[in-house]
Amino acid sequence: MRVMGGQSSASASAPARLLPWTGTGGRPCYLVGSGTGYVARRADEVEEIQLDMAYELLGHAEGLLAGTDATAPQLHFLASRLSESLEQVQRIAESRGSRLEAALAEARPHLNSDTSP
């Protein structure tokens, strides 16, 4: 298993996983390998934390925007945090979508072989 910054190089057994953090200069990091080791488990934990924080932030935004007394600095801070959170959630969605596509592609030959004459 390797963690890489920059572009991914897929292994024969599994596609590279986009990790929920970035490397030097904001470049994406990927995990190449089985996806069952320490780094994969840590990535799962970080994704869960990021998603929980996004839900909490949405609740805070709802409360702040429900009133009419929010100040410009409060709204700026909220917008900044929402932007950061959306970026994290987008990275999670991209990572999970890629892994789902790979799993479906792997399953298709098995499904097609069962239905062939």
What is the rounded distance in angstroms from the CA atom of residue 75 to the CA atom of residue 80? 9
Q: Are 43 and 53 within 8 A, CB to CB?
A: no
* Burial of 109 (C-beta count, 10 Å sphere; 0-12/13-18/19+): exposed
Residue 35 has a pLDDT of 82
- Show pLDDT as tens, one digit a residue, over the chain (117 residues): 445 554 444 444 578 999 999 999 999 999 998 788 999 999 999 999 999 999 999 999 999 999 999 999 999 999 999 999 999 999 999 999 998 998 888 888 766 555 555
Q: Are 32 and 11 within 8 A, CB to CB?
A: yes
pLDDT digits (tens, 9 = 90+) for 17-48: 999 999 999 999 999 987 889 999 999 999 99
Domain boundaries, the chain: 16-106
For residue 31, the cross-strand partners are: 3, 17
Residue 11 has a pLDDT of 42
What is the rounded distance in angstroms from the CA atom of residue 57 to the CA atom of residue 81? 8
Residue 8 has a pLDDT of 41
